[in-house]
């Protein structure tokens, strides 16, 4: 079964001695997943994470659907339920945690969260914000690090990995997925949200979201780096994962809210389980909100 670990503390990571973008451990390949051009873009926004009306507002509101998606998918695979703290004892790695927008609600559900991000300034922002809530102090640990750097130390350590709105920014997706597989326990869950590579995602994600509405700064996304779900599924399966769910997500720029939809042609969320897992996909893998009305849509963030 999943969710075996009962430790309430996040995994303790070694002190980082290398420079900001240096990669120490390379997931059995000579490639880094970190793209220095992408790092420069995020560097400029590192103090903006917790501005709910700012550049990351769509990530704030995405929590309304991505947090229940993660929580319910995990609970449906577990016989262990902790009232009030449903994810108590679950060790989660939040890769590309940014300012901790997703780490914090997962920590509040009881999980022990390790958030990593290659950008030191992101981690500084995340650490500072975490300090406002004493409950999170013991549950979340942040570290400025790439995934490659922690692989050797944290082989098969985590019950769950989340990589939300990250894979469209990495330099080498194959290395990234390999590393995810290596730090995840057998039967562990991987949750990814990202943007599909379609004509519609170009129009909504780049033309409308960046150039017309300015929901995210111009240049945030490169269409070439968007990831079709079929490609992601192929990579995951080649690395010992079984894909349990791929659900389309829709952003409504007028209300600033997200809902589920059947089509994965723009944004989507994926749940995969590392081999060894028992059981089939759960009812929550197809969220009930999927039937909701679908107003004018924009790919974000
Ligand atoms: C769009 S933000 C998403 C932040 C966070 N996951 C959230 O949803 O609130 C993308 C984040 O991925 C990080 N990132 C980019 N490339 C990465 C890589 N190769 N490995 C880990 N994180 C990366 C960036 O520094 C940035 O913080």
pLDDT, tens digit (0-9, with 9 covering 90-100), for 46-86: 999 999 999 999 999 999 999 999 999 999 998 777 778 99
Q: What's the token pair of residue 191?
A: 């949750």
Q: Is the pLDDT of residue 25 over 50?
A: no
Closest to 173 measured CA to CA, from 120, 218, 115, 235: 235
Residue 10 lies in a domain: no
Query: Which of these ranges, 28-32, 178-182, 290-294, has the smallest mean pLDDT?
Result: 290-294
What is the number of domains present in the chain?
A: 1
Whole-angstrom distance, CA of residue 254 vs CA of residue 265: 20
Residue 193's domain is classified under what CATH number? Answer: 3.40.50.150
For residues 181 and 156, the answer to whether their CB atoms sit within 8 Å is no
Q: Which atom of ligand 1 is nearest to the CA of 39?
A: 25
Residue 8 lies in a domain: no
Question: What confidence tier does 103 reach under pLDDT thresholds 50, 70, 90?
Answer: very high
Closest Cα to atom 22 of ligand 1: 96
Q: Is the pLDDT of residue 289 over 70?
A: no
* pLDDT score for 301: 61
Coil, helix or strand at residue 142: strand
Q: Is 144 in the pocket of ligand 1 (CB under 6 A)?
A: no
Closest to 10 measured CA to CA, from 104, 146, 86: 104
pLDDT in tens, 183-241: 999 999 999 999 999 999 989 888 888 888 888 888 888 899 999 999 999 999 999 99
DSSP-assigned letter for residue 291 = G
Closest Cα to atom 4 of ligand 1: 98
Whole-angstrom distance, CA of residue 110 vs CA of residue 82: 9
Q: Residue 281 Cα, ligand 1 centroid: separation in angstroms?
A: 27
Closest Cα to atom 1 of ligand 1: 165
What own/partner pairs with CB < 8 Å and gap ≥ 24 does 129-134 have?
A: 129/49, 129/50, 129/99, 129/100, 129/104, 130/100, 130/103, 130/104, 133/104, 133/108
Residue 169 lies in a domain: yes
Q: What's the token pair of residue 293?
A: 């009305």
Q: Is the pLDDT of residue 21 over 70?
A: no
Residue 128 lies in a domain: yes
The residue to which tokens 């780049």 are assigned: 206
pLDDT in tens, 121-155: 999 999 999 999 999 999 999 999 999 999 999 99
Peptide bond into 301 cis (omega under 30): yes
Whole-angstrom distance, CA of residue 36 vs CA of residue 291: 40
Q: Residue 96 Cα, ligand 1 centroid: separation in angstroms?
A: 3
Q: Is the pLDDT of residue 27 over 70?
A: no
Q: Is the pLDDT of residue 282 over 50?
A: no
pLDDT in tens, 230-253: 999 999 999 999 999 999 999 998
- C-alpha dihedral (159, 67, 266, 57), degrees to nearest 10: -130
Closest Cα to atom 14 of ligand 1: 96
Q: Is the pLDDT of residue 5 over 70?
A: no
Residue 214 lies in a domain: no
Closest to 159 measured CA to CA, from 113, 90, 227, 102: 90
Q: Is the pLDDT of residue 294 over 90?
A: no
* pLDDT score for 79: 76
* pLDDT score for 110: 96
Q: Which atom of ligand 1 is nearest to the CA of 32?
A: 19
94 phi, psi to nearest 5 deg: -100, 100
Residue 278 lies in a domain: yes
Residue 14 lies in a domain: no
For residues 180 and 95, the answer to whether their CB atoms sit within 8 Å is yes
Q: What's the token pair of residue 126?
A: 């995340």
pLDDT in tens, 104-120: 999 999 999 999 999 99
Residue 253 belongs to domain spanning: 36-197+222-291
Q: Is 300 in the pocket of ligand 1 (CB under 6 A)?
A: no
Average pLDDT, the chain: 85
Q: Is 221 in the pocket of ligand 1 (CB under 6 A)?
A: no
Closest Cα to atom 27 of ligand 1: 98
* Phi-psi label, residue 28: left if phi above 0, alpha if psi -120 to 50, beta otherwise: left
pLDDT in tens, 152-172: 999 999 999 999 999 999 999
Residue 53 lies in a domain: yes
Q: Is 10 in the pocket of ligand 1 (CB under 6 A)?
A: no
Question: What confidence tier does 10 reach under pLDDT thresholds 50, 70, 90?
Answer: low
């Amino acid at each position: 079964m999943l969710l075996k670990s009962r430790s309430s503390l996040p995994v303790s990571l070694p002190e980082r001695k290398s420079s900001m973008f240096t990669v120490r451990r390379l997931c059995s390949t000579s490639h880094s997943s970190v793209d220095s051009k992408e790092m420069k873009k995020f560097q400029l926004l590192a103090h903006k994470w917790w501005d709910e009306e700012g550049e990351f507002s769509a990530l704030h509101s995405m929590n309304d659907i991505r947090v229940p998606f993660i929580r319910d998918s995990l609970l449906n695979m577990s016989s262990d339920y902790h009232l009030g703290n449903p994810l108590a004892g679950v060790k989660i790695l939040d890769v590309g945690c940014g300012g901790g927008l997703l780490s914090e609600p997962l920590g509040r559900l009881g999980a022990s969260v390790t958030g990593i991000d290659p950008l030191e300034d992101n981690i500084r922002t995340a650490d500072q914000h975490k300090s406002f809530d004493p409950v999170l102090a013991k549950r979340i640990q942040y570290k400025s690090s790439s995934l490659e750097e922690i692989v050797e130390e944290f082989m098969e350590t985590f019950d769950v990995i989340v990589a939300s709105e990250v894979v469209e920014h990495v330099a080498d997706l194959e290395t990234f997925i390999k590393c995810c597989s290596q730090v995840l326990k057998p039967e562990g869950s991987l949750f990814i949200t990202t943007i599909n590579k379609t004509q519609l995602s170009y129009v909504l994600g780049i033309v409308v979201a960046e150039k017309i509405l300015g929901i995210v700064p111009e240049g945030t996304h490169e269409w070439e780096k968007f990831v079709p779900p079929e490609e992601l599924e192929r990579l995951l399966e080649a690395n010992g994962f079984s894909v349990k769910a791929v659900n389309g997500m829709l952003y409504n720029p007028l209300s600033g809210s997200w809902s589920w939809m059947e089509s994965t042609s723009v944004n989507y969320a994926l749940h995969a389980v590392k081999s060894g897992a028992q059981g089939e996909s759960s009812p929550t893998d197809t969220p009930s909100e999927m039937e909701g009305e679908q107003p004018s849509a924009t790919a974000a963030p």
